Amino acid sequence: MLLTIDIGTSIFKSALWDLDGNRLSFASAALSVNKCGLKYEAVPSMWLRAFEECCHKLLSDLKRQSNVHNGGFAGVRAIVLSGNGPSLVPVFKEPDASDWFSPLAGNAWLWLEPQMKSSRMDEGPQRESSAFEPQPGLNTEKLLEYSSEVSALMGGFVDSCFFLPKILSIKNDEAGLYHKTKYFLGCPEYLAYALTGEAKTVFPSDGFDRWFWNDSVLEKLKLDADKFPPFIRPGDPFGNILPSAARRFGFAENIPVISGGPDFFASILGSGVTEPGQICDRTGSSDGINICVKDHISHEKLMSYGHPVKPYWNLSGVINTTGMAIQWCRDLLGLSGFHEFFSLAKESGPGSGSLVFLPYLAGSRAGDSVSRGLWRGLTLSSGRSELANSVLEGICFAIRDIITVMEESGAAAEQLHVTGGLAGNAALNQMKADITGRPALEPALKEAELLGLAVIGACFLGKFSSYREASGAMCAVQRRFEPNPENARLYNDFFVRYKQERCLN
């Protein structure tokens, strides 16, 4: 068996698999995020508690399956981890599985309030409003300067949410915390450290140099190199599980704990996106659009890095607020749940009564940080159903907008593989097909991150010879949505309006 773990922002997910990609058990645990001024933080011991909670749930589920795997976790041959990022965890001491919840680290720094924006290299530090007040424990003006300093050093824009600007902020503005820190780790690396005692940093793939570091960069920034653990790649082991951790949870001794890379890396494999022209749409609070391309493509609005399947590359764009926009509109309309929201949206015809919605409620990562949400075309005949449906259409138009930029940069975009929390919504999948003009494929297993981690683990253990082979064998499509020609023609006209509003916004 394989145990896979994906640590999200609000939920900790786990699953047990056999080496053929059959999911034997699934468990999850809720996570919380704390807001401190402009910073959003998490308590790292919460991830350890979630790991233990999920282990108990998985074991209970295995026991109910009386004819399957009665040995419990003793049959687990490897643990594969991924998680959110770029979270930053200042680690203070060595792990001790006999005292599993002892505080090893300070609070994890996840992200900043959306209004807190970093500048590009050729611009000075900017603030969105003159009423923007510094917060306790975070010098916002200096953080913008650190982002600019790192950007200039790395030869390209590095947002303040990434590792080095955060670490510079801690070093210069929280000296006590900096000197107390033994290692700076990411979220999944922290759990791996607690399980193995090995501190490693996961370098996702070629093309990520700007967002990490090397000895020369650390020297120029006057950062202590010994606080930065060595790099490994997805598919590499962090190390073997500590004997004390194995005993605590019932694992066999010396099983490997393997890096699955960032959550998007695993999701690409778990969605079956292994050939040029295939697109992975990771749905959730935000949508990540990842397309497999033959060659490296540089574009200021997109990220480009090595695809899990060599020698291909991945081209990526993100829409910050998709699921969050749906939740926002649901609450605004006083609806009790998502089912009620989607039922209301169905009452509207395609085009939502000529209402156009821009879903940039927390800005946009696609090259500009000043875009904002917008409803255009409101009239006295605009009803609740039109408002709800226009939000869904706006999300799909934003996806098409990113795909259009990808095509203009030289990528071929042929089919959309939908994953994540909204992947099972047939109405939304059909709308995505109609608006993008491409088939939308719904997977049999919606949790692509966990399945992708199983792909990585099965290859590590020698079941398959390549990620392409493993993904092809383990990923199944449940349903295919073809574009409706009539709706597609209507949406082509509406996309022109959407682009006009996007340019004016």
- pLDDT tens digit string along 385-443? 999 999 999 999 999 999 999 999 999 999 999 998 889 999 999 999 999 999 999 99
Spatial distance between the Cα atoms of 331 and 384, rounded to a whole number of angstroms: 12
Instruction: Name every residue whose Cβ is closer than 8 Å to that of residue 500 and which is 6 or more positions away in sequence.
Output: none
Residue 324 has a pLDDT of 87
Give yes or no for a contact between 259 and 235, defined as CB atoms under 8 angstroms apart: yes
Angle formed by the axes of helices 384-408 and 323-332, nearest 10°: 160
For 132-141, write each residue's pLDDT tens digit. Answer: 334 445 677 8
Instruction: Name every residue whose Cβ is closer than 8 Å to that of residue 288 and which is 6 or more positions away in sequence.
Output: 264, 267, 280, 281, 282, 316, 317, 318
Residue 67 has a pLDDT of 56
The CATH number that domain 271-439+482-505 falls under is 3.30.420.40
Terminal CA-CA length for the chain: 51
**What's the residue count for the chain?**
505
Mean pLDDT of 186-215: 95
Instruction: Name every residue whose Cβ is closer than 8 Å to that of residue 99 and which is 6 or more positions away in sequence.
Output: none
Task: Between 125 and 238, name the one with better pLDDT.
Answer: 238
Task: Between 281 and 114, name the one with better pLDDT.
Answer: 281
Q: Is the pLDDT of residue 483 over 60?
A: yes
pTM of the complete model: 0.88
Mean pLDDT of 324-338: 92
**Residue 488: which pLDDT band, with cuts at 50, 70 and 90?**
very high
Spatial distance between the Cα atoms of 432 and 476, rounded to a whole number of angstroms: 20
Q: Is the pLDDT of residue 149 over 90?
A: yes
Alpha helices in 272-383 (DSSP H): 323-332, 338-346
Mean pLDDT of 169-198: 95
Q: Which two tokens stand for residue 336?
A: 């009790």
**Residue 70: which pLDDT band, with cuts at 50, 70 and 90?**
low
Residue 123 has a pLDDT of 36
| Residue with token string 């975070």 | 138
**Which of 450, 442, 449, 397 minimizes the C-alpha distance to 422?**
442
**Which of 286, 326, 229, 279 minimizes the C-alpha distance to 9?**
286
Q: How far is CA 345 from CA 323, 393, 430, in A?
A: 15, 10, 13
For 461-476, write each residue's pLDDT tens digit. Answer: 999 999 999 999 999 9
Phi/psi at 408 (5° precision): -65, -25
- Specify which residues 4 forms β-bridges with: 15, 80
Q: Is the pLDDT of residue 130 over 80?
A: no
Mean pLDDT of 98-118: 73
Q: Which residue type does 47 have?
A: W
Q: Is the peptide bond before 308 cis (omega within 30 degrees of 0)?
A: no
Give yes or no for a contact between 171 and 159, defined as CB atoms under 8 angstroms apart: no
**Residue 447: which pLDDT band, with cuts at 50, 70 and 90?**
confident
**Which of 393, 403, 406 minimizes the C-alpha distance to 434?**
393
Residue 318 has a pLDDT of 87
Distance between alpha carbon 391 and the CA centroid of its chain, in Å? Answer: 22
Identify the sign of the CA torsion 84, 89, 95, 100.
Answer: negative
Give yes or no for a contact between 392 and 287, defined as CB atoms under 8 angstroms apart: no
Give yes or no for a contact between 185 and 91, defined as CB atoms under 8 angstroms apart: yes
Phi/psi at 78 (5° precision): -165, 155
| Residue with token string 């590792």 | 163
Are 2-264 and 271-439+482-505 equal in CATH topology? yes
**Which of 17, 81, 21 minimizes the C-alpha distance to 51?**
81
Q: Where along the chain do its domains lie?
A: 2-264, 271-439+482-505
Q: Is the pLDDT of residue 312 over 90?
A: yes
30-68: buried (b, 16+ CB within 10 Å) or exposed (e) per residue?
A: ebeeeeebbbbbbbbbbbbebbebbbebbbeebeeeeee
DSSP state of 361: B
Spatial distance between the Cα atoms of 462 and 2, rounded to a whole number of angstroms: 13
**Residue 114: which pLDDT band, with cuts at 50, 70 and 90?**
low
Instruction: Name every residue whose Cβ is closer than 8 Å to that of residue 252 and which is 6 or more positions away in sequence.
Output: 73, 74, 76, 77, 246
Spatial distance between the Cα atoms of 187 and 21, rounded to a whole number of angstroms: 25
User: Which CATH class for the 2-264 domain?
Assistant: alpha beta
Q: Which two tokens stand for residue 431?
A: 């709308």
Mean pLDDT of 89-102: 83
Average pLDDT score, the chain: 89
